[in-house]
Amino acid sequence: MNVFMVYVRDENFCRLLPKELDRSRSDNGRIKVMGFPPLGIQTLAPVLRGHGHQVRMFDTCHPHMQVEHVVQAAEEEGPDVIALSFLSTTTYPAVKNLARQLKLGEPQIPIIVGGAFASMNSDRILGDCPDIDCVGVGEGEELLPDYLRNLSDPGSVDGLVWRHAGKVVQNVLRPLIRDLNQFPYPDRTSLPIDYIESLPLDVPAVLSLDKFCTMQTSRGCPYSCIYCDIPSLSRGKWRYRSPEHVLGEMQQLNDLGYRSIYLTDDHFLVNRKRISEVCQGIIKRRLQFQWGCEGRVDAVAVDQLPLMKKANCTYLAFGVEAGTQKVLDRLNKKQTLKQVEYAVSKAKRHGIKRVHGFFIISSPGETEKDVMASFRFAARLKLDTFGFNRLCAYRGTPLWQEYINRGIIDDERDWHKWFKCSDIDPTVLPSAAVNRVRMKGYALLFARRILCRPIRTYKLLRMFGRHMKKFDLLKLLWSPFRRRTLTRNPELPAMMIDLELAEPIRDIVSIT
């Protein structure tokens, strides 16, 4: 069977590498895109080929690419099935639009969609979008071949949600795949695109021009932070590939010339023995690439940091989230400030080049004082980089459920939206206050860094400056202080729209 597989993404998470940053010697005809590769379709394509199917992959990352081009490519290809893959709520409108255009061209070709958001909202999507024929819930490695084998008998495909006689039918859920070692390695060569390691920002923040790709060595996370979808996607389980299987893929990437690899595992640091074996393997095989990963500060594997450094781990990101125990507890983070300090200082002491801290601001019950405490905490930690993002609510998270229970979200009408908590929750600081206090916090943080750690700050800026124009670097540094103009009206829950409320009613609740 012939499958046309498209990864649909948000425009703001990729862009073409500007000509002046392109220092490659030869023009090999490949497009250079600053962004993450589409690991979902890269993972599924070789699995389908192994079942005898033909697959053409398509990534909508070219900023000049219009929906018409994807439709045209699909028409040229004449596939038996179109599979659309996308990650988040934010991409759903683009997926709907693409499905509509594809159906206008070739109405008889079935369209199946999958990915994190689709898995969580399968029945709603089918109720909402007549152009999508079915949704594959969860992992696609077994589901997709099963679906292609049973195109005329969709009722027999576990994990499939489809339509029958105008009704949405939810087949039984597929069990999680137990043996993740059984599949071929992802296909990173068929797409005519080189992905450039960069930060998803509104300036071209290139981190390196080394050949770059992503890789997944484990799936899921056993924790349950209130803002995170992973526990429901992975049903609270953490599953992993064996060190040998991981090292086999790493060897392949090394031999293909990849010199920078980012592990997209939800929590890489879970198992001490596995990390040790992977790192020993990297060292023994003399693999050349540098790599980065994310994990929790309380992981037992924090004691593997010296070995990770030896194995060329140059980037480690921790979910720090907040500088007060009160907010950490509200987020159900199940970690302490002490653990954060310990993990960050240990990572730096053992020579991890870039340690990043993810912070969340505007959590329920968080005051301006608490936000400033987070910035002060960040200034005290030996972090190299940090990001302070506003808390958002996505369907499938405990926070979303809490908002349903509190009468803020109407699941029937709001399922396809995502919300900044400050726009909808009266116990969260209003947006104007968040922006004001964030600017103040950044000023404090930058001043402290320059005064207390001038050499490290200089080195960091030099690293960014290696591949960035001076103007862009200044713009990047200035961006936290930029007065934010709203590019879109905030998404609001149906109940606030009914009541014509632009802001949640905060009278009763005081949070300053």
Q: Which of the residues 229 through 258 are near ligand SF4 (CB under 6 A)? A: 230-231
Q: Which of the residues 143 through 182 are near ligand B12 (CB under 6 A)? A: 143-144
Shortest distance, CB of residue 45 to ligand SF4, whole angstroms?
A: 26
Bridge-based pairing of strands 290-295 and 260-263 is parallel
44 binds ligand B12 (CB under 6 A): yes
398 or 441: whose CB is closer to ligand B12? 398
In the shown chain, the binding pattern of residues 105 to 144 toward ligand B12, with x for contact by CB under 6 A and - for none, equals: -------xxxxxx--x---------------x--xxx-xx
Closest-approach residue to ligand B12 (CB): 114
**Per-residue b or e along 241-265, where b marks 16 or more CB atoms closer than 10 Å to that residue's CB:** bebebbbebbeebbeeebbbbbbbb
396 binds ligand B12 (CB under 6 A): yes
Interface segment toward ligand B12; rule CB under 6 A; list 187-195, 227-235, 281-289, 451-459: 227-235
In the shown chain, the binding pattern of residues 293 to 322 toward ligand SF4, with x for contact by CB under 6 A and - for none, equals: ---x----------------------x---
CB atoms under 10 Å from CB of 210, counted, come to 15
206 or 373: whose CB is closer to ligand B12? 206
Judge contact between 163 and 169, C-beta under 8 A.
Answer: yes
Give the separation between CA 165 and CA 252, rounded to whole angstroms.
48
Shortest distance, CB of residue 224 to ligand SF4, whole angstroms?
A: 6
In the sheet that 354-361 helps form, which strands lie side by side, from edge to edge? 212-215, 260-263, 290-295, 313-321, 354-361, 385-390
Shortest distance, CB of residue 345 to ligand B12, whole angstroms?
A: 26
- Residue of 174, 188, 241, 267 interacting with ligand SF4 (CB under 6 A): 267
In 3D, which of 220, 307, 335 has the Cα closest to residue 267?
A: 220
N- to C-terminal Cα distance for the chain? Answer: 61
36 binds ligand B12 (CB under 6 A): yes
The SS3 call for residue 16 is: strand
505: Cα separation from own chain's centroid: 32
Residue 216: which of ligand B12, ligand SF4, none does it interact with, CB under 5 to 8 A by kind? ligand B12
Give the separation between CA 235 and CA 238, rounded to whole angstroms.
9
CA angle 403, 405, 407 (to 5 degrees): 70
For 358-400, the three-class secondary structure string (H helix, E strand, C coil) is EEEECCCCCCHHHHHHHHHHHHHCCCCEEEEEECEECCCCHHH
198 binds ligand B12 (CB under 6 A): no
238 binds ligand B12 (CB under 6 A): no
- Residue of 17, 203, 225, 424 interacting with ligand SF4 (CB under 6 A): 225
221 binds ligand SF4 (CB under 6 A): yes
Give the separation between CA 127 and CA 161, rounded to whole angstroms.
11
Interface segment toward ligand B12; rule CB under 6 A; list 79-87, 188-196, 252-260, 447-455: 79-87
Sign of CA dihedral 297, 276, 237, 161: positive
Interface segment toward ligand SF4; rule CB under 6 A; list 105-113, 135-143, 201-209, 216-224: 216-224
Question: HSE of 228 in the Cβ direction (CA atoms, 13 Å)?
Answer: 19
Give the separation between CA 370 and CA 363, rounded to whole angstroms.
10
The two tokens of residue 291 are 């790599």
Judge contact between 35 and 13, C-beta under 8 A.
Answer: yes
Bridge-based pairing of strands 260-263 and 212-215 is parallel
Shortest distance, CB of residue 459 to ligand SF4, whole angstroms?
A: 29
394 binds ligand B12 (CB under 6 A): yes
Judge contact between 231 and 224, C-beta under 8 A.
Answer: yes
Residue 140: which of ligand SF4, ligand B12, none does it interact with, CB under 5 to 8 A by kind? ligand B12
Question: HSE of 339 in the Cβ direction (CA atoms, 13 Å)?
Answer: 20
267 or 420: whose CB is closer to ligand SF4? 267
Using the structure block, give the residue that is written with the tokens 């969340």: 360
In the shown chain, the binding pattern of residues 331 to 370 toward ligand SF4, with x for contact by CB under 6 A and - for none, equals: ----------------------------------------
146 or 265: whose CB is closer to ligand SF4? 265
196 or 225: whose CB is closer to ligand SF4? 225
Instruction: Please report, as ranges, the residues that interact with ligand B12 according to CB under 6 A.
Output: 9-10, 13, 36, 38-40, 43-44, 83, 85, 87-91, 112-117, 120, 136, 139-141, 143-144, 200, 214, 216, 228-230, 264, 266, 392, 394, 396
Instruction: Please report, as ranges, the residues that interact with ligand SF4 according to CB under 6 A.
Output: 221, 223-225, 228, 230-231, 266-267, 296, 319
